[in-house]
Amino acid sequence: MGNRSSLLLREEEIAQIQQETGFTPSQIERLYSRFTSLDRGDCGTLSRDDFLRIPELAINPLGERIVNSFFQVAFKMYDLDNDDMISKDELLAILHMMVGTNISEEQLNSIAERTILEADEDGDQMISFEEFCKALQRTDVEQKMSIRFLN
Ligand code: CA
Ligand code: CA
């Protein structure tokens, strides 16, 4: 990471979404830019409900599937070592990238610990994709742990 344009969909991600949804690359690009423009004026936060409010998705029986594909992209952004689990260290690394040096190490550490605590259902101190999706769907957690697109 470290490349600030890395938030654009990569070709392999487009290919994966295309395979899963049957959308063309240009349709996917268009939806993706709609997604990123859904931020309601504050800090690039998108919730699952925001995704599902998109008219094209609401009327499309594959809407849920497409949203899940984007969740997978978001999950992979956190899962730096690609083992399908988000560890506290990975959360910390992402937090570092998001907030830079404005917050003390101690505060970041407690944010990461709290996030794991809230999302971790089976108590293994890691967030699986399933736990990640569930956490995003719980309204109270949603505000704290929404997908943040770096920009
Ligand atoms: Ca991992
Ligand atoms: Ca877990």
Closest Cα to residue 110, out of 86, 88, 143, 90?
88
Closest Cα to residue 89, out of 61, 71, 116, 52?
116
| Res 147: pLDDT | 46
For residues 25-42, b (16+ Cβ closer than 10 Å) or e, as one string? Answer: eeebeebbeebeeeeeee
- Whether 43 and 148 have beta carbons less than 8 Å apart is answered as yes
How many Å lie between the centroid of ligand 2 and the Cα of residue 136? Answer: 14
**Which domain CATH number covers 97?**
1.10.238.10
Q: Is residue 101 part of a domain?
A: yes
How many Å lie between the centroid of ligand 2 and the Cα of residue 127? Answer: 4
Q: Is residue 55 part of a domain?
A: no
Ligand nearest to the CA of 129: 2
| Res 32: pLDDT | 73
| Res 144: pLDDT | 45
Q: Is residue 13 part of a domain?
A: no
Q: Is residue 39 part of a domain?
A: no
Across the chain, which has 151 residues, the per-10-residue mean pLDDT values are: 51 79 77 65 58 64 72 89 96 83 84 91 95 74 44 35
* Domain encompassing residue 86: 68-141
| Res 85: pLDDT | 97
How many Å lie between the centroid of ligand 1 and the Cα of residue 81? Answer: 5
| Res 103: pLDDT | 80
CA-based radius of gyration for the chain: 15
Work out how many domains the chain is built from and give that number. 1
| Res 55: pLDDT | 65
CA–CA dist 84, 103 (Å, integer): 28
How many Å lie between the centroid of ligand 2 and the Cα of residue 88? Answer: 11
Q: Is residue 98 part of a domain?
A: yes
For residues 49-73, b (16+ Cβ closer than 10 Å) or e, as one string? Answer: ebbeebeebeeeeebeebbbbbbbb
| Res 61: pLDDT | 63
- Residue 75, both tokens: 């999950």
Q: Is residue 121 part of a domain?
A: yes
pTM comes to 0.53
CA–CA dist 130, 151 (Å, integer): 26
Strand partners, 86: 127
